[in-house]
Structure 1
Amino acid sequence: MTNSGERTTMTRRTLIGGASALAAAGFTAVPADAGETAQGSGQGSGHGPGKTVRLTVMGTTDLHGNVFNWDYFKNAEYDDAAHNDIGLAKISTLVTAVRDRIAADRRAPRPLMLDAGDTIQGTPLAYYYAKIEPITGGHTHPMAAAMNRIGYDAAALGNHEFNYGMDILRKFQRQLRFPLLGANAQDWTTGLPAFPPYVLKRVHVPGEKPITVGILGITNPGIAIWDKANVENKLKFGGIVEQAKVWVPRVRKAGADVVVVSVHSGMDLSSSYGDALPYPENAAALMAETVPGIDAVLVGHAHLEIPERLVTNKLTGEQVVLTEPLKWGMRLSLIDLDLRKDRGRWKVVGRHSQVLNANTVAADPEVVALLQKDHDKVVEYVNSKIGNCTEAMSAATAPWEDTAALDFVNFVQADAVAKILAGTPQAALPVLAIAAPFNRDAAIPAGDVSVRDVAGLYVFDNTLLAVTMTGAQIKEYLEFSALYFKQVTGTGPFPSAQVTNAPTATAPNGTPDYNYDILGGLAKPLTYKIDIAKPGGARITDLAYAGVAVTADQQFVVAVNNYRQSGGGNFPHVKTAPVVYNRQVEIRQLMIDYVTATGTVDPKTFHTVDWSLTSNGAPITVTK
């Protein structure tokens, strides 16, 4: 069986344990303060009158199928510009260090471990056990096995939990040794919770009554749009703030001294789906500000690193601490809550949070050993043949000439959108797609094609959306994209560096390749020329669809990735254009699925030369 080189034992760094691990990971200890505004992070100061007890809650979010510090598409140990590490195997080492530190103080209560969702989708490891060897056949999901081994106390549902359908999700739920929470995931007919809304954890305090911690889980209402095919007529999703107002009082009434909300929703108010739903996508801070009775919030969904944010509840004046531990197991959040007895009940009198960095420790060898066979099986799959290509496709020249490689990306995107829109009001509109030359080194060879070969054409984890745009908006979009080219005269030949990656006001060091977009049509070609002898804003000529000049008011459906649609690159119109498709399916996976289903990639079926560079109307030549 194909091995992963270093067997993902994360040999780049030395294993650090106990207090050394916490210090290396960025842990900061500050003495607890008994005051109402205490923000301490050290141990509690005893259990006598007026003394505080420190309760620690650890948290992860947006793990997205990462157990190992491994990039399956590169077939190498994961690394990025910030040298982050990923995966539950490393998180396990940090969790053990935190538990050992707290256990050393016999007066301290046991820490809790939570997750804020998006667990079973995002890597070939997760995909394999949903689609290739589904866990419905009896295999334990690697994420369930790892989280059980670590000893989570609860997790919230994420929106990506629903990507593979309810059968996979329910099987995953049954495999967990802790509850999967979703107070606002409601039965379509009855409106009752389809998952446990909350769980009460009674934490032992030596010589005192236990602390009862209520953990409320809330997921993202956008699931109703993003996974409509899997949830329609089965589940509906209430608003985050609205459902918190319902459930937080119930958790308190059930006996909770402390309420922690694990919510799969970004910190600051926004919605990628506009007003398509009456509830915002990202509302964690708003929830903390407007719903009384919450002490701490573990935030997810936005893939941001927020060590600590303190929000004051507008009704009670009490502070709430919020934290988000980035993504993929790169960070572990620590929430420290200082409690004091008040009329026989525990009350939070201080709060603080921070994040620990997973790149400071090695993987837990027990987690690695537990899932090494699963990992090796997936490495073999990713490197295995899934089809063949009739001729080689390279992206080496994609920034300056129409290539089969980018036409393939656009074809898959547009084809997926067209199939989904069948039977809708937009089905009669022409479908276009947008792609950028992300990776000049990418190539699909002639002959056998592996999952890894296909994935190399699309190196980002972007998901597919579709919007409607007019002909005038398409023209302005292309003009903006053409700012990528430097202004030159003559027909060349020009070395590519003389033509591409032009500096702009927003990219003074040169426009990156990923901010140059190429448009293509599905059923009929979208054709245009880019005259780089002309100044920016006046370069697009001969814009036509199916050989007929595009009119200003002509309507198109445009397949686009979530980065661009959310404003990445600041392209005009696309961010505010009406969204007609958004199921949060990864474009890379759509490409893999296409090759797997068809067995053959034949550029003749999708590649035509539809755009070109000119200088004052004359074709130019560009070399590498």
Structure 2
Amino acid sequence: MTSPLDHTATRRQLLTLATVGGAGLFAAANAGPASAATTGNRFRLTVLGTSDLHGNVYNWDYYKNAEYDDATHNDIGLAKAATLVKAVRAERGASSCLTLDAGDTIQGTPLAYYYANIEPIGGRTKHPMAMAMNALGYDAAALGNHEFNYGLEHLDRFRKELNHPLLGANAVDWDTGEPVFRPWVMKEVATRPGRPPLKVGILGLVTPGVAIWDKANVEGKVRFPGIVEQAEVYVPRMKKAGADVVVVSCHSGMDTSSSYGDALPYPENASSLLAAQVPGIDAILVGHAHSEIPMRKVKNEVTGQRVLLSEPKYWGMRVTVMDLNLEYDGARWGVVSSGATLLDANTATEDAEIAALIRPAHTKVLTYVNSVVGTSTTAMSAATSRYEDTPAIDFINDVQADAVKTAVAGTPAASNPVLSIAAPFNRAAAIPAGQVTVRDVAGLYIFDNTLVGITMTGADLRAYLEKSAAYFKQVSGTGPFTPDQLTNAVTPEAPGGTPDYNYDIVGGLDAPLTYDIDLAQPVGSRIKDLAYDGAPVTDAQVFTVAINNYRQSGGGGFPAVATAPVVYNAQQPIRELLIAWVSANGTIDPATFSSVDWRLTSNGSPITITG
């Protein structure tokens, strides 16, 4: 996993371009008439790209307090990605390379969380991701949707720490429609003696879903028009300003889909649409979907140009290498061929400069996350939470519901039964028996969501649970089935399979909410025997419900919640509530809050799940 990357290994990886997503690339770059080579009419621009770093500098899992590892033994972190970037610069010549990022940088790890909430950046406290990116020398980066999680003030402080522009052409002022962030930047790249520099226009775009997912932070301040619509405005401006080449850093997935359905008039994932519908783009660095796509070509519907796209997975696991091969026609440079591939962080050691630079911040965060906050009477694992009722999710729901009940005391909402909604975010999450640390509790809730209280009717609740149950595949019989035979169903909104975070579990606080999910039935008809405190839930019954801000704002396209009356919203991070609960109570005892209230069935009979 951590074999060193030397010059020979670098060259070996780079020379695989012809077989890994970049057929014929080096031939295109180096071939051609001798006269063209000697007269300097050809030039190769290399665009290096990362995306969805999510606060990862080191190959480290803060929740396990160990070196990062996954089922396919990927390595992660900007420190390793930096080694790959520097190796390519050395191979190609740094002056012919540009380095970009496609967003989601400042959220996702305890390192990022610490410098947003525990020791917020500002003054002498610098963001470790800004320090690392500055050390590597990025040329530009796009906004990601998670950049907005901690509010506009935090984001602006981060932006000011960067040595490169943070681009967002479709993040515009609520009233004026003018960009809040710089929309694009022009970079001049020296080419050949006697030839003019290459002018590269770099455009940044972010998924419009920010308007839903971070509504509390952006409503009334920043709007998010469509990706294609804004590119149609700015690409011609970049061309008019002299751009020979247009590269887009786009925090929006490759294949057109929207987790929020039709809640917005613009798709969440629009990079292929961008390539197909906006003339003048040469290459797109893709982010947001966490996919590994070495190279894809999309034909522009207007010009017929084949636009190059590449997405480098996430967390620094891969680095995109896009090569644009150009020819000078006597007036300007133009792209004649292109190709791309991905480099793998497993082949790299950590960059010594960046590793040393961020070590003090990393050490400080390790001290914080490994501090003991309480004890647990028994171990709780979230490994099976997506297909069976577990104490781990019951704990989250109990803390959320209790917080909302306390907050609405003395208001009309206090007379309603209190429910809570949570999702199995992290299969690896576990609370050990005995001493419990901050990282143990934080692992249960890896997203930076805040708590909201809303009211829902019984009819709303049933519709919500039916939407959630679309997470499961339809089956016949009671099994036994493996978890993968039942979960992560493909839907029109989730063509790659419904993610775990879009499966919600609902629980009651003072009395149980019970229900079966009948997987022999089609989507929309699966929730059976829905009851509260043993009595069937009626359509008109009213509940006060604890829910996270992502879901309440419309994330996932769940019914009823985005328009439901809000009875509590102090923007309190749920992770902090969980940690504070353990600190205040001292002991986690599942016997006080956990019970089996829902199950998977087939025509009324329990399903058996193995493996």
Using the size of structure 1 for normalisation, the TM-score is 0.78
Match of 1:595 among 570, 579, 585: 579
1:322–1:611: structure 2 CA closer, same or farther, 3 Å change rule?
Answer: same
Residue number among 12, 26, 50 corresponding to 1:23 in the alignment = 12
Q: Which amino acid aligns with 1:361?
A: A
In the alignment, is residue 433 of structure 1 matched against residue 433 of structure 2? Answer: no
Which has the higher mean CA deviation after the structures are superposed, 396-405 or 241-250? 396-405
**1:198 and 2:198 aligned:** no
Out of 353, 376, 379, the position equivalent to 2:363 is: 376
The answer to whether the Cα contact below 8 Å between 1:219 and 1:240 also exists between their aligned partners in 2 is: yes
Assess, with a 3 A threshold, how the Cα gap between structure 1 residues 227 and 474 changes in structure 2: closer, same or farther.
Answer: closer
- Flag the 1:566–1:150 CA change in 2: closer, same or farther, 3 A: same
Q: Which residue of 2 aligns with 1:5?
A: none
Match of 1:328 among 306, 315, 332: 315
Moved more, 67-76 or 18-27: 18-27
Residue deviations 1:18-69, cap 9 Å, x none? 3422424774259xx9xxx988564476555694211110001000001000
Task: Give runs of aligned pairs for residues 282-293 of structure 1, distance below 5 A.
Answer: 282-293=269-280
Once the two structures are superposed, residues 128-178 of structure 1 have per-residue CA deviations (whole angstroms, 9 ceiling, x without a partner) of: 111111112421211111111111000001111111112211111111111
Aligned equivalents of 1:618, 1:261: Cα separation in 2: 53
The answer to whether residue 290 in structure 2 is matched with residue 303 in structure 1 is yes
Specify the SS of the correspondent of 1:580.
helix
* 3-state SS of 1:272 partner: coil
C-alpha separation between the residues in 2 aligned to 1:618 and 1:345? 71
Closer/same/farther in 2, CA of residues 474 and 274 from structure 1, 3 Å limit: closer
1:209 is displaced (CA, Å) by: 0.8
1:71 to 23, 37, 61: 61
| Gaps in structure 2 of 5+ consecutive residues | 489-499, 565-571
Contact 1:44 1:52 in 2 (8 A): no
Match of 1:132 among 105, 118, 128: 118
Contact persistence 2:44–2:96 (CA under 8 A): no
* Correspondence 1:117-266 to 2 at 5 A: 117-207=103-193, 208-266=195-253
Q: Give 1:349 shift.
A: 1.0
User: Matched residues in 2 for 1:485 and 1:561: separation?
Assistant: 36
1:442 aligns with 2:430: yes
Where in structure 2 are the equivalents of 1:362-373 lying within 5 Å? Answer: 362-373=349-360
Match of 2:462 among 471, 492, 514: 471
CA distance in 1 between counterparts of 2:561 and 2:288 reads: 20
Instruction: Letter of the 1:362 partner, please give it.
Output: T
Counterpart selection for 1:356 from 338, 343, 350: 343
Q: Is the 8 A contact 1:406 1:437 kept in 2?
A: no
Question: Against the structure 1 CA distance between its residues 212 and 420, is the aligned structure 2 distance closer, same or farther, given a 3 Å change threshold?
Answer: farther
Match of 1:611 in 2: 597
Q: 1:346 aligns with which of 333, 350, 353?
A: 333
Shift in alpha-carbon separation, 1:25–1:135, aligned structure 2, 3 A: farther
Q: Which residue identity does 1:433 align to in structure 2?
A: I
Distance 1:286 1:530 in 2: 37
Between the aligned partners of 2:31 and 2:563, the Cα distance in structure 1 is 51
Q: Percent same amino acid among aligned pairs?
A: 49
Distance 1:411 1:376 in 2: 33
Give the Cα separation in 2 of the matches to 1:462 and 1:271: 21
State the partner residue of 2:80. Answer: 90
Cα distance in structure 1, aligned partners of 2:68 and 2:299:
39
Aligned partners of 1:41 and 1:352 also within 8 Å: no
Q: What residue identity is the alignment partner of 1:262?
A: S
Alignment-mate amino acid for residue 2 of structure 2: R
| Distance (whole Å) between structure 1 residues aligned to residue 439 and residue 175 of structure 2 | 43
Q: Is the 8 A contact 1:26 1:357 kept in 2?
A: no
Tell me: CA distance 1:138–1:611, structure 2 relative to 1, closer, same or farther (3 Å). Answer: same
Give deviations 1:306-358, integer Å, cap 9, x for gaps.
Answer: 11110111111111101100000000001110111124111111111111111
Q: Deviations over 1:276-323 (max 9, x none)?
A: 222111111101111111000011111001111101111111111011
CA spacing shift, 1:224–1:20, aligned 2, 3 Å:
same
Corresponding residue SS for 1:297: strand
Letter in 1 for 2:85: V
**Deviations 1:406-451, CA, capped at 9 Å, x for gaps:** 31122345568899999999x97964425559769833445x5311
SS of residue matched to 1:600: helix
1:606–1:236 CA distance, 2 compared to 1 (3 A): farther
CA distance 1:53–1:600, change in 2 (3 Å): same
2:393 aligned partner: 406
Correspondence 1:404-553 to 2 at 5 A: 404-412=391-399, 431-435=419-423, 442-446=430-434, 449-457=436-444, 469-471=460-462, 474=465, 519-522=506-509, 524-528=511-515, 543-551=530-538
Q: Does the 8 Å contact 2:57/2:77 carry over to 1?
A: yes
**Counterpart Cα distance in 1 of 2:486 and 2:534:** 35
Once the 2 structures are TM-superposed, how far is the Cα of residue 549 of structure 1 from its aligned partner?
1.0
**Are 1:431 and 1:521, in contact at CA under 8 Å, matched by a contact in 2?**
yes
Shift of 1:590: 2.5
Q: Aligned in 2, Cα 1:17/1:481: closer, same or farther, shift over 3 Å?
A: closer
Q: Distance in 2 between matches of 1:478 and 1:311?
A: 35
Native 8 Å contact 2:43 2:192 kept in 1 = no
Q: SS of the residue aligned with 2:122?
A: helix
* Counterparts in 2 of 1:193 and 1:416: CA distance versus 1, 3 Å: farther
Moved more, 188-197 or 539-548: 539-548
Please tell me the root mean square deviation across aligned C-alpha atoms, in Å: 4.8
Aligned to 2:50: 60
Measured against aligned partners, the alpha-carbon deviations of 1:176-231 in whole angstroms (never above 9, x if no partner) come to 11111111111122211111111110000131110000001111211111111111
Q: TM-score w.r.t. structure 2 length?
A: 0.79
Change (3 A) 1:505 1:463: same
Change in 2 beyond 3 A, CA 1:409/1:249: same
SS of the aligned residue for 1:135 comes to coil
CA deviation vs aligned residue, 1:355-403 (integer Å, no higher than 9, x gap):
1111111111111111111111111111013x32474453499879966
- Residue 461 of structure 1: CA displacement? 6.0
CA contact (8 A) 1:464 1:560 kept: yes
On the 8 A contact 1:479/1:536 being kept in 2, the answer is no
Shift of 1:99: 0.7
Q: Which runs of 5+ in 1 are unaligned?
A: 1-11, 489-498, 508-513, 568-573, 583-587
The 5 Å alignment of 1:576-595 reads 577=559, 580=562, 590-595=574-579
User: 1:494 is matched with which residue?
Assistant: none
Query: Contact 2:465–2:504 (CA<8 Å) still a contact in 1?
Result: no
Which of the residues 90, 104, 112 maps onto 2:98? 112
For the residue of structure 2 that corresponds to 1:406, the secondary structure is: helix
